[in-house]
Structure 1
Amino acid sequence: MTQPVSPPRGGTGQASPVSELPAWRSLAARADVRTLSLLGVLAALVVIGGITKPDEFLDTRNLQLVLTQASVIGVVTVGMTFVITSGGIDLSVGAIVALASVWATTVATQEYGFAGILFTAMIVGVGCGLVNGLLIAYGGLVPFIATLAMLASARGLALQITDGRTQIVTVDTVLKLGERDSYLLGIPPLVLVFAVVTVIGWLILNRTTFGRRTVAVGGNAEAARLAGIDVRRQRLYLYLLSGLCCGIAAFLLIILSGSGQNTNGNLYELDAIAAAIIGGTLLSGGRGTITGSVLGVLIFTTITDIFALNNLQSDVQQIAKGAIIVAAVLVQRRTASTT
């Protein structure tokens, strides 16, 4: 027989509905509120776009373009979400995308066709993630410093490979994936890949031991270690995962642009971190949401599209994104202080 819950001392005797719920239900309720809030923001942006530029914004091709552009940074954001959930950070994702894209589009690599480009992009991404993971997990470097070093190194190597030139893709099977003839029921292949990565990422984070260990490490690394979790190995795996996502994103970018450039992935790290934060992933670790991160990506991509269609300057767009990031962090701090 369950005992009635007494009100907290010094309180009014009236508990909020959320506080009366078990801990996991309380978190789920807050997650639902965040998701609904993000959906509301996205819906408001769609309305704004439809009002300001109804013919252009609501055109099917424009909506396909928005989803396609969101796919590249979205795949990177999925990997970033795992890293931030564990209490880490990865500032090198944009540079890794650039390095993977130029390495996969060299003349020597293209001789191996579709498989050669895909394999090279993914293996370069994983290799960079391996270096990050080893430096952080076993080398004892702070994630900020280790990934900042990778950012500089990967950018420099990408510039050295290309010598500042654009590398054109000549493999037809890769180029055809960017054409409208390859769309499946009106959905671009890049969007389908993004959807698959999102679903897999959600399942791993929410339905597997790996996901629970990631959250535990981000919440309290020492407690996770005492509970039997190999914290160093877990962190290594997480940066490998982030690198893999960067490799996939590089391949999608190659399809989208038909080329490899050392400037690819510029500021992707900021966009991915921002999307994860406004989506509800806690910057200090211990909580992550793939669904929120994806909605964050869609919000930022929609904002970019609306600004472009209305011929608004990019500096105003950056200010708007910065304001959204600050607001999201303030909301996170307020929520954390009340739990």
Structure 2
Amino acid sequence: MSEQKTTVAGPHPSAPADHSTESKAAPLQDFLRGPAGRSLGLVIALALLFVVGAITSGDRFLNLENLLTILRLASITGVISIGVTFVITAGGIDLSVGSVMGLTTVVATMASVQLAATQSSWILMVLVALAVGAAAGLINGVVIAYGNVVSFIATLAMLVGARGLAELISGRTTQIVSNRDFLQVMRAELIGIPILIWIFAVVALAGWFLLNRTTFGRRTIAIGGNLEASRLAGIKVRRHLVYLYVLAGLAAGIAGIMMLGRTTAGTSTHGLLYELDAIAAVVVGGTLLIGGRGTIMGTVLGVLIFSTLTNVFTQNNLDTSVQALAKGSIIVVAVLLQQRFAARGPRRGRRT
């Protein structure tokens, strides 16, 4: 018996040391591949942009007013991006959020709506904008889930339709917000921070909680990971998809309210190409385009990265074409990294 034990152990004297090395490396690899590791990379990228801004622009970049400008610039796109994150996590896409946002600003500033808001409360304008956004999202969801139309085509149709409807309602004119109570609230500050930034923070926190701490979020991730398996597991996939697009529409409605507060006008041109900025921020943030993994924190960091990049270019009076080229390069790198992660996924198991 003792000779057999010696024979078995003899050929592998270094095995314990190898296992020790692997056990030390595994936690680091898991951390870097996990949500915290991916967020750390985005934080480093954002910090590098701040360093570049500080070096090239000095005090102009680092003063409080400019930092608040970056956050204000990020707030409206950020709210839209939160809604888009849920849709992409489930394996879909929403190209209509920018046009829907423009439509909400037009409907909310119609003369009849503003008159009714003046006679009752400015909250009526908010409710109208939210209702319009939710209705557009509901149409998207029903067409996609029950009409079996590909999300790209359905939301592309809504992109064109919502923009056209906004032009018809407004007559391609700018509608000025006349409700002073609404403007006073939307221009208010809390402890020196504009209300638009607070709205973005609240929406981001609510989105994080919904995606990471609720059954709704787990079902969203499951549908993106494997739609058919989710259906067989008892998840009402079609109904859930409708909810997701309504959520994206509501986010567009909130963004429309914020845009009215910032510009004091409703117009069909509001939100032009915002859907592309939102999708870019979501992808750069680490949400997989193929679905199955979503991160609200990553989306927020992605929005801040693009907002800071725009500010750095503006501070240095650089050509907008160069800025577009830089954004495009960042998106390509992010997608390539996603493909690399997706290729490793089947071997190591997908993490959400």
Q: How is 1:269-284 mapped onto 2 (pairs within 5 angstroms)?
A: 269-284=275-290
C-alpha distance in structure 2 between counterparts of 1:202 and 1:266, whole Å = 26
Task: Please point out which of 281, 295, 310 is paired with 1:304.
Answer: 310
Q: How is 1:248-259 mapped onto 2 (pairs within 5 angstroms)?
A: 248-259=254-265
- Structure 1 vs Structure 2: percent identity of aligned residues? 52
C-alpha distance in structure 2 between counterparts of 1:83 and 1:94, whole Å = 15
C-alpha distance in structure 1 between counterparts of 2:78 and 2:98, whole Å = 12
C-alpha distance in structure 2 between counterparts of 1:144 and 1:293, whole Å = 21
- Would you say 1:326 and 2:328 are equivalent positions? no
Question: What code does the residue aligned with 1:166 have?
Answer: T
C-alpha distance in structure 2 between counterparts of 1:133 and 1:89, whole Å = 11
Q: Describe the superposition over 1:151-208 as per-residue Cα deviations: whole angstroms up to 9, x where unpaired.
A: 00001011111112111111112222354xx211111101111111111100010000
Q: CA deviation at 1:29?
A: 5.3
Question: What code does the residue aligned with 2:80 have?
Answer: V
Matched with 1:85 is 89
Q: CA deviation at 1:338?
A: 2.3
Matched with 1:8 is none
Matched with 1:67 is 71
Q: Describe the superposition over 1:212-242 as per-residue Cα deviations: whole angstroms up to 9, x where unpaired.
A: 0000000000000010001101100000100
Question: What code does the residue aligned with 1:42 have?
Answer: L
| Contact in 2 for aligned 1:18/1:29 (Cα 8 Å) | no
The 3-state SS of whatever aligns with 2:193 is: coil
CA distance 1:17–1:252, change in 2 (3 Å) = farther
Matched with 2:14 is none
The 3-state SS of whatever aligns with 1:111 is: helix
Q: How is 1:1-339 mapped onto 2 (pairs within 5 angstroms)?
A: 15=22, 26=30, 30-113=34-117, 114-179=122-187, 182-339=188-345
C-alpha distance in structure 2 between counterparts of 1:200 and 1:314, whole Å = 34
More displaced, 328-337 or 224-233? 328-337
Q: Which has the larger radius of gyration?
A: 2
| Contact in 1 for aligned 2:310/2:323 (Cα 8 Å) | yes
| Contact in 2 for aligned 1:81/1:289 (Cα 8 Å) | yes
The 3-state SS of whatever aligns with 2:332 is: helix
| Contact in 2 for aligned 1:39/1:295 (Cα 8 Å) | yes
C-alpha distance in structure 2 between counterparts of 1:314 and 1:159, whole Å = 27
Matched with 1:7 is none
C-alpha distance in structure 1 between counterparts of 2:70 and 2:31, whole Å = 31
The 3-state SS of whatever aligns with 2:199 is: helix
Aligned length: 323
Q: CA deviation at 1:333?
A: 0.9
Give the alignment's TM-score, normalised by structure 2: 0.88
Unpaired runs of 5+ residues, structure 1, are 1-11
CA distance 1:98–1:323, change in 2 (3 Å) = same
Matched with 1:4 is none
Question: What code does the residue aligned with 1:186 have?
Answer: G
Q: Which has the higher helix share?
A: 2
| Contact in 1 for aligned 2:32/2:38 (Cα 8 Å) | no
C-alpha distance in structure 1 between counterparts of 2:114 and 2:51, whole Å = 44
Give the alignment's TM-score, normalised by structure 1: 0.92
Question: What code does the residue aligned with 2:282 have?
Answer: A
| Contact in 2 for aligned 1:66/1:301 (Cα 8 Å) | yes
C-alpha distance in structure 1 between counterparts of 2:102 and 2:202, whole Å = 23
| Contact in 2 for aligned 1:93/1:246 (Cα 8 Å) | yes
The 3-state SS of whatever aligns with 1:112 is: helix
CA distance 1:258–1:225, change in 2 (3 Å) = same
Q: CA deviation at 1:26?
A: 3.9
What's the RMSD between the two structures over aligned residues? 1.7
Question: What code does the residue aligned with 2:343 have?
Answer: S
C-alpha distance in structure 1 between counterparts of 2:128 and 2:73, whole Å = 22
